[in-house]
Structure 1
Amino acid sequence: MNSDAIQEQAAPLRLTDPYEALSALEAAVPGMAALRRAEPARFNWAAAEACLGTALPADFKLLAELYPPLSLGDYMVVHTPPVGAEHEWAKAVLEEEEDTADLLDVDDLSGVLSAYPAPGGLLVWGSSFEGDTFLWTTHGISPQEWKVTVATHNSDWWHYTAGAIQFTADLISGALEPWGLPPVRPEVVAIRD
């Protein structure tokens, strides 16, 4: 398969400000604001990013700081770290490299895409309860430029030119075509804290 075989959707307007992306998610999931932490959690992002060997996108970090880990629409989870376990979380994210490489091999995409830490490689940030995987394509000068890559459980692969939080908001609100993904209800549950 070549890179032309992987379709790409462009966000109608890419939200580069993390607060705007989070506001879009809160608008798409009205019950979410009730789960917001009274005070932002303090994460040791430096430890997580040192372990990963890269900075993380600001929208992802903002979601983690303001909300506990969430299950959205009884469908998907954004893999934010537990407070105080940032280094362990980062190690677990890096261990998913082998799973990502296996997905690429099974779908005959290892010549087109690669797993992180390869330059521009795919780094997991979320998953669904149906076996779909949500990744960042770590290409760009800064993590704010990373786009989302979707690997559905049916072996459909595609890119969305937005960050993880905007992608999640656009998926739930219906602002994007959910190629190979089911509709996601605008419901949210805190899964742990």
Structure 2
Amino acid sequence: MPFREEHMNHLDVVRLLGIDAPALPPEAGGHGRVVPEDFEMLLKALPMGVIAGSVLLERPDVPVRSLEDFAKDTAPRVANMADALLAREQEPLLPLFPEPGGMVPWGRTARDGVLLWNTTDPDTRQWTTVLTDADFQLWLDLPFSTSEFLVRTIQGRPEGIPAFESYEEYESGSYWKVADDMRVTATALANPDIEAVEEIVTHVRSVGVPGIRQYAQGLVDQAVNESLGSLPEDYLTVMKEFPGGVVAGVRVFPVTRAAWLTEDRLFLQWGEVQGRAFGWLTASGSPENWRIAYIEPDGIALTCLEDQTFATFLRRRLRGDNSLF
């Protein structure tokens, strides 16, 4: 994939923060060979602290000499991810480092989530961001470099949240907003009568990184404009918050990638699980009557989950039920 000149770099971030930044180094400086150059330049420009009340960067020595050295400090967290997913019989969005092309952590969130790079492209300038929550149940696939992710985070932050705080400022400032939000989330999820859509949306919002909702909403608007047709309301409500990725082992495509699999438009695919195409059987007319169905990898057998909507199926998975029946 060719490098796109319009990509944001570290200067876009530091300008938003009002910080003087060093110029991009010549290639001989060694930056960008192991990890993205914009990340290394951000480390040179930014003091230690919290961005938009939500994001903290890993702080290796730069230039980074090897991915093994870079990933050393986060290796225990990656091992925790692998163990948690194995226990749930789930897979991550992509393999984890040190697997070839594996995801490598580059930061964390104030709510103990992890920010990783998708390293499948050999060109570090093309590495994009994956965000997972503290329980590794949600994996958000975001087509952003570190710099673009941070720009969107800063621009999307709630009113009253500083663009940047030192650790000391954060502990006496935005930390209390984060703590209050986490209490509200825990209370909502503890409600035994919570509706499926609200439960999923609450989980997604609990990731706590600004800018994601705006991006997800833009994808929904784009899909509607491209005339996919009417879609179930529970699906649209969730996808206005979730831009695509994995929910409890279920790969959920970005809404712009939902597609009809048959010419008669009787099966609309929105994701997959273990090679099975998941979507809706649409013969029942109104989207509110559509129910979840899946097609086996061989394309022959089709199973309909007659009692499951998009939201209730994902809730069942989040609650630990991996049944496909």
Equivalenced residue count is: 159
SS of 1:130's equivalent in the other structure is: coil
- Percent identical residues: 18
Which structure exhibits the higher relative contact order, with contacts defined as CA atoms closer than 8 Å and separated by 6 or more residues?
1
Contact kept in structure 1, 2:129 and 2:146, CA below 8 Å = yes
Q: Distance in 1 between matches of 2:146 and 2:127?
A: 9
Structure 1: distance between partners of 2:12 and 2:150: 9
CA distance in 1, matches of 2:129, 2:101: 12
- Report the Cα offset of residue 92 of structure 1: 1.2
Deviation at 1:108, TM superposition (A): 4.5
Corresponding residue for 1:166?
148
**Is contact 1:100–1:122 with CA below 8 Å preserved after alignment?**
no
Alpha carbons of structure 1 residues 171 and 113: separation in structure 2 relative to 1, 3 Å: same
TM-score relative to the length of structure 1? 0.63
Find the counterpart in structure 1 of residue 165 from structure 2.
189
Structure 1 CA distance, aligned partners of 2:12 and 2:65?
Answer: 26
User: Are 1:137 and 2:121 an aligned pair?
Assistant: no
Question: Aligned match of 2:39 in 40, 47, 60?
Answer: 60
Which stretch has the larger CA shift, 78-87 or 97-106? 78-87
- For residues 67-96 of structure 1, what are the alpha-carbon distances to aligned partners after superposition, in whole Å with 9 as ceiling and x for unaligned? 223311222201122579988765213444
Does residue 105 of structure 2 align to residue 124 of structure 1?
Answer: yes
Match of 1:23 in 2: 11
**Of the candidates 89, 101, 115, which is equivalent to residue 82 of structure 2?**
101
Using the size of structure 2 for normalisation, the TM-score is: 0.40
Structure possessing the higher radius of gyration over alpha carbons:
2
Equivalent residue for 2:291? none
CA drift of 1:118 comes to: 0.5
For the 8 Å contact 1:134–1:148, the answer to whether it is kept is: yes
Superimposed CA distance per residue, residues 126-175 of structure 1 (whole angstroms, 9 cap, x where no aligned partner)? 1112121110111102111111111023622111112112112112213x
> Secondary structure of the equivalent of 2:141?
strand
Q: CA RMSD in A?
A: 3.9
**Distance in 1 between residues matched to 2:23 and 2:11, nearest whole Å:** 17
What is the rounded CA distance, in whole Å, between the counterparts of 2:126 and 2:85 in structure 1? 22
**What's the counterpart of residue 113 of structure 1?**
94
Q: Distance in 2 between matches of 1:70 and 1:79?
A: 11
CA gap 1:90/1:97 in 2 versus in 1, 3 angstroms: same
What pairs up with 1:22-101 in 2 under 5 angstroms? 22-27=10-15, 30=16, 32-34=17-19, 36=20, 55-81=34-60, 90-101=71-82
Contact 2:119 2:128 in 1 (8 A): yes
